[in-house]
Chain A
């Protein structure tokens, strides 16, 4: 039912879009109609450029996101195990967290050039904190009552960590992973808008330079749809691997 009403909203928005452009209420240059946009999209699909740009963007997101997970999870685990290390590093990390990754883009370009490394770097900078903080929060909030059960059952410290604390921290970690997924798209498109020669962000900025608002809209729509698909896949993977979170998923809390 929520899915249906969600699509209904899309339908209404589409109709409104159609109406405003068909009546000439808004100039077609500012807001091309749905058919113009569809035509532009079809053309981009046919000449393969849409697929090419999307693939490049997806690859960057996948790489940056994966790298963030590989960095953030062990570090969160280490901090969970060593509270001293945590309080030692926390101020520096907290400082870094306050800086929007795109504000660091000029420095990244200077240090890493305008190639792939810099784009992946921006994504890592923006994904790392949601994942790291989600995992850290989850570990810190693991129910001490369940940990006591582990102690009574004779589990070692390591076993308590892997068999009780980690599963217990999963809901918070999943929230972090999902937020990071959204952030990674934003950071990527931001980076591609500023310095790049391929990718969906480039497609948009290039179209803007050529005054092709319809292609700009195609890019925007594709980014939105890809984001939705990624999120749905993430939910689906979670539902399969952690069925006990089902009720929380349905309530939309995870």
Chain B
């Protein structure tokens, strides 16, 4: 799907320039499900923004298969709903004027069903809970039927049950549509549960790419999965800013 070589982005904060992302080499196959884990501030959002074209890299290059950027769906870390549009209006934002009204409403209704918000099409954003707003944002990305779906901690604000069912839903969509997915999370368990590969980021660098060769649907209590989780956690602890403390994995 794309190949990043020596990708980097520097910010200037005050007088000093610092690298939010540095020397990232990463290539993802079409149709793959990759998760990105790392501590807060390690550059996960920055990497997604570069992939989406919302920011320009200051180093390195990014090549997409077939030249141009594919159709992208992006779920931001915050819901970012337009307060003046209803839930349906928000979900259909990118389709208005591109589809006729009937087809648009069908697509929007379908997307809302996927995220379990069928009854809320007419609701306004300020009437939604945080988790509901985040699901609307997910529907807004899904409705575009993207080739590359970028998700930035999309399930962070959800309870364990809703989170679990949306995780399964996402895996289903991925398998049914063949969408390439890059999924950012700070939760190592979620990363190994969802991804075929887990990219480990630490202080702006890619410190490992761990393959999880387990069939879907996966079970969070599967011992094989727990072993993967342990490996990923250990690598993050080794490379983290406090690695000298020699923390141990429980």
Contacts and interface: CB of A to CB of B under 8 A. Distances in A.
Nearest to B49: A148
Q: What is the interface residue range for chain A against chain B?
A: 20 to 34
Contacts of B94: 152-155
Contacts of B54: 148, 151-152
Contact of A146 (B71, B82, B126): B82
State the main secondary structure of chain B at its contact with A: loop
B117 interface: no
B80 A145 contact: yes
A180 to B, nearest CB: 22
B181 to A, nearest CB: 15
Interface centre among A159, A163, A170, A247 (most CB of B within 10 A): A163
Interface in B68-84: 71-74, 76, 78, 80, 82-84
A-B pairs, top 5 by smallest CB distance, nearest first, are A153-B94, A167-B84, A152-B74, A244-B83, A244-B84
B140 A242 contact: no
Interface centre among A146, A152, A170, A247 (most CB of B within 10 A): A152
A182 interface: no
Interface in A54-72: none
Contacts of A170: 84
A150 B71 CA distance: 14
Contacts of B21: none
B140 A153 contact: yes
B81 to A, nearest CB: 8
B240 to A, nearest CB: 29
B84 A242 contact: yes
A242 to B, nearest CB: 7
Contacts of A168: 82, 84
B158 interface: no
